[in-house]
Amino acid sequence: GDSMLETEDNGMIRLEDLKIGDKVNTGDSFETVYSFGHYSKTSNTEYLQLQASSGKSLTVSGMHMVFTENGAVPAERVLVGDKLVISNGSLEEVVGIKSVKSSGAYAPFTSNGK
């Protein structure tokens, strides 16, 4: 829920504030959120935090698909040393992976699947 994402109309917002109909940055375009696979502000969930060489991190479920230099893979298969594709299309090396617990579970769906 604390994760941030970029929307076309409201700039950077917290994931828990995302609504159906919002347009989100999917890396190469802004796409409309048409549904949620998960939307719970209260669930306590275990996530993986992928730490990038830039100092940024990505916190996702183990089954969340992430884009690497070798294509899309579940986050649980990412290893230290792998390179993630970030929103501007460049690559960032994974320098650390840890398990974290957090409240909330969200899985917005867009037409391009990103």
Q: Which residues contact 17 (CB under 8 A, 6 or more apart)?
A: none
Give the pLDDT confidence score for residue 28 in this predicted structure. Answer: 77
SS3 16: helix
Quick one: pLDDT band at residue 1, thresholds 50, 70, 90?
Answer: low
Amino acid at position 43, single letter: S
Q: What is the pLDDT of residue 74?
A: 95
For CA atoms 51, 58, 44, 4, the dihedral sign is positive
Residue 33 near residue 24, CB atoms below 8 Å: yes
pLDDT of residue 32 exceeding 80? yes
Model confidence over 37-93: pLDDT tens digits?
878 888 888 999 999 999 988 888 898 889 999 999 999 999 999 999 887 778 999
Do 107 and 38 meet the contact criterion of CB atoms below 8 Å apart?
yes
Count CB neighbours of 73 within 10 A.
13
Contacts of 11 (CB under 8 A, 6+ apart): none
Kindly indicate the confidence band of residue 21, based on its pLDDT and cuts at 50, 70 and 90.
Answer: very high
pTM over cut 0.85: no
Average pLDDT value for residue range 27-46: 86
The pLDDT score that the predictor gives to residue 43 is 83
pLDDT digits (tens, 9 = 90+) for 3-12: 788 999 999 9
**Closest by Cα among 42, 43, 4, 35 to 107:** 35
